[in-house]
Structure 1
């Protein structure tokens, strides 16, 4: 039996509730699947860390995560942090930057029993996670933005061959396991050098996977295509900002952003993080939907299973995934999905399905 240490960062808003639900489900499931041992290491992040350590992401947290096999992070409410903390990268952005988590992987799949705007769909977005038009993480030093005059602001976007190559390889490797179709999303018709480099590099990588069908769309056209025919897409490969926007759109189209999971991964580390935010307006009311965080943890288990060649972790992920689907099929749903179950009640319903 291999023991895995999983970091736990509860975060802000509904974060502590949905992260606690996730830890409880994974702990219960690990008692059912043989040869799985999960050890939890809770670490400070967000408002609780600001109050205790004067930093939303203390150095001790980053150092401890360096010895973890992976971690689960709740949402943060960085827009409410004191001004001096808002000037820094937000906690998830800092972790993506610090650990070079270059791939943000966001599946969007319809769930039986949950109403979808687009019918049946099953796609996954591979979002480059380290550069583009995100000034808090695209330079070695500096913010990437300048206020030239009080009325003129300049924001720089960074596009490199290295970043495009590695996210493209990750996307094409996933496509080989799915329906062998990659769609590159860009704006090379207007931002000709930056997005032109991204598009040409992704196509060069695609040539190394001759079995995979490759097409590409401008971002504005792609948003319309998702609404009209989401079922026609398999793996979507795009840049940081476009991936952020498209994944939120796709999440709502297939059911709800509250269901949308994601992981942030490098070659040797991964962070499970639901795609939604901290929802401070419902924090502490025991009505938050934990499914997005739960499915993100399932993605983390799958990533760890692949990295460590451990089929027990894959089995654990399937057990949890099926338990979630079974609870939904029984009509157990939180308020955002039209039900009346509390966060705790939904969590307990999932745990009861772990047989």
Structure 2
């Protein structure tokens, strides 16, 4: 028996209303090809449009609805363009991550045959702790970790706790067991000795329970150099919040384009698929945006559902969706950021067709 899934859809801002429907179409095609029961997509308001209709970028009704679905697909948001006071509030994705304690941000970087990888053969995953670290919007229960005691002094707190590191480290080592059985810990323990020092030491403690997984570690500055020179040699990288954000953008470009960089944000019970890139308002509405990142995020979401429900058809659907994207690129269909001329809609049609052939 296959499960029937209800998934939320939040288009977001900028290119979101173009690329999110593209991912839905590709996921539906993959579900049909895998024999998965039709997905029930529930569209929910979020972003600038929701401010106009609901008075909030993340309406309470949207958050309540997310409680009732199995997982959801989130488009990019452009919170910097929101009118005040919405611009100064926690942004939509941060609000959702906090509400559902989505502590693991899983960000793969994989090059494509026929793509334009800076480092061909890149196939790694960055496992980013998503709730603490040096990001002010995630470091406190209420308010933020930034404050100004005087107009000329600004202070930011970085929070690292043993419990948060333990659970993200376990997620990284469990993932590594399904891949190349290698984990790299990234930190800055030579300078941030107490905070990222704790991150490093707790990760190494967790590593003891995974003797089959090889472990090494690098300082964040050295790691940027290693990625540029030999990204293809890394498997799973685990790090704190800000370092993970920076490294995953770099890794996405090394693999071919930030437009192909997917991610999911997950807890033990909920998951949110979200492309690693932003809303690209300069190209919004022109049918030129690259939908690969959000498509691959949807594929990750299907695999997450498969693992949680022991559902081989959902796993098959996720694999088919990724294979369809790879086939389209291999066949020379690509958007402008990857050196091609295909529109968003043309690339989507190519993926849907490739999924059907598979």
Matches within 5 A, 1:5-20: 5-20=6-21
Once residues 351 and 232 of structure 1 are traced to their aligned partners in structure 2, the CA distance between those partners, rounded to angstroms, is 32
Contact residue 9 and residue 74 of structure 2 kept, 8 A = yes
Residue number in structure 2 paired with 1:203: 204
Cα shift at 1:28: 2.5
Cα shift at 1:193: 0.8
Q: Secondary structure at the match of 2:34?
A: coil
Residue number in structure 1 paired with 2:332: 331
Cα shift at 1:307: 0.4
Cα shift at 1:31: 2.3
Equivalent pairs counted in the alignment come to 355
Residue number in structure 2 paired with 1:179: 180
TM norm structure 2: 0.98
Task: Say whether residues 1:192 and 2:193 are aligned partners.
Answer: yes
Q: CA RMSD in A?
A: 0.9
Residue number in structure 2 paired with 1:237: 238
Residue number in structure 1 paired with 2:99: 98
Q: Secondary structure at the match of 2:4?
A: strand
Contact residue 4 and residue 38 of structure 1 kept, 8 A = yes
Q: Secondary structure at the match of 2:137?
A: coil
Cα shift at 1:33: 2.2
Q: Which runs of 4+ in 1 moved over 6 A?
A: none
Contact residue 286 and residue 343 of structure 1 kept, 8 A = yes
Once residues 319 and 223 of structure 1 are traced to their aligned partners in structure 2, the CA distance between those partners, rounded to angstroms, is 32
Once residues 218 and 84 of structure 2 are traced to their aligned partners in structure 1, the CA distance between those partners, rounded to angstroms, is 39
Residue number in structure 2 paired with 1:3: 4
Contact residue 76 and residue 278 of structure 1 kept, 8 A = yes
Once residues 133 and 317 of structure 2 are traced to their aligned partners in structure 1, the CA distance between those partners, rounded to angstroms, is 36
Once residues 196 and 325 of structure 1 are traced to their aligned partners in structure 2, the CA distance between those partners, rounded to angstroms, is 39
1:228-264 deviations in Å (ceiling 9; x for gaps): 1111211000000000000000000110000010000
Cα shift at 1:37: 2.5
Once residues 214 and 196 of structure 1 are traced to their aligned partners in structure 2, the CA distance between those partners, rounded to angstroms, is 16
Matches within 5 A, 1:289-328: 289-328=290-329
Once residues 326 and 218 of structure 2 are traced to their aligned partners in structure 1, the CA distance between those partners, rounded to angstroms, is 33
Residue number in structure 2 paired with 1:51: 52
Q: Which stretch shifts more, 26-35 or 299-308? A: 26-35
Once residues 144 and 352 of structure 1 are traced to their aligned partners in structure 2, the CA distance between those partners, rounded to angstroms, is 48
Task: Say whether residues 1:63 and 2:64 are aligned partners.
Answer: yes
Q: Secondary structure at the match of 1:223?
A: helix
Residue number in structure 1 paired with 2:289: 288
Once residues 336 and 263 of structure 1 are traced to their aligned partners in structure 2, the CA distance between those partners, rounded to angstroms, is 22
Which segments of 5 or more consecutive residues in structure 2 lack a partner in the other structure?
none
Once residues 176 and 185 of structure 2 are traced to their aligned partners in structure 1, the CA distance between those partners, rounded to angstroms, is 12
Once residues 352 and 141 of structure 2 are traced to their aligned partners in structure 1, the CA distance between those partners, rounded to angstroms, is 45
TM norm structure 1: 0.98
CA, structure 1 residues 35+13, in 2 after alignment: closer, same or farther (shift >3 Å)?
closer
Contact residue 135 and residue 144 of structure 1 kept, 8 A = yes
Cα shift at 1:323: 1.4
Q: Secondary structure at the match of 1:2?
A: coil
Contact residue 36 and residue 313 of structure 1 kept, 8 A = no
Once residues 121 and 26 of structure 1 are traced to their aligned partners in structure 2, the CA distance between those partners, rounded to angstroms, is 25
Cα shift at 1:319: 1.4
Matches within 5 A, 1:159-178: 159-178=160-179
Residue number in structure 1 paired with 2:142: 141
Contact residue 102 and residue 266 of structure 1 kept, 8 A = yes
Residue number in structure 2 paired with 1:347: 348
